[in-house]
Amino acid sequence: MVLDYLIAIAGVGGLLSGWLYVQHVTRRFALDHPEFGPPREEGEGCGGSCTCSSKGHCNRRGGYARSSGTIEG
């Protein structure tokens, strides 16, 4: 039972380390190849996951549209 927890902790740590390595490689590639522009970080920009009404402009810095503050339901 304790072995299962240790395996799970090692697995999560390994996944986190792998993701950090991928981000490092991406940033290093962007530094070596400035002609491609800066790397897009996850959660930045106005993509399909934000609630922008106009697809080219967001109201908040960082790319997310501002919420109206109303809750429907």
Check whether residue 8 and residue 32 sit in a common domain.
yes
Does residue 50 contact residue 58 with C-beta atoms inside 8 Å? yes
Domain membership flag for residue 73: no
- What is this structure's pTM? 0.53
Domain coverage including residue 15: 2-36
Report, as an integer, the average pLDDT of 1-22. 96
The Cα–Cα gap between 50 and 41 comes to 14
Average pLDDT, rounded, for the chain: 75
Same domain, 31 and 48: no
CA–CA gap between residue 47 and residue 63 (Å, rounded) = 8
29-51 pLDDT per residue, tens: 999 998 988 777 766 656 555 55
- Is the pLDDT higher at 48 or at 66? 48
Q: Is residue 16 part of a domain?
A: yes
Nearest to 46 by CA among 26, 60, 67, 30: 60
* Tally of domains in the chain: 2
Residue 66 has pLDDT above 60, yes or no: no
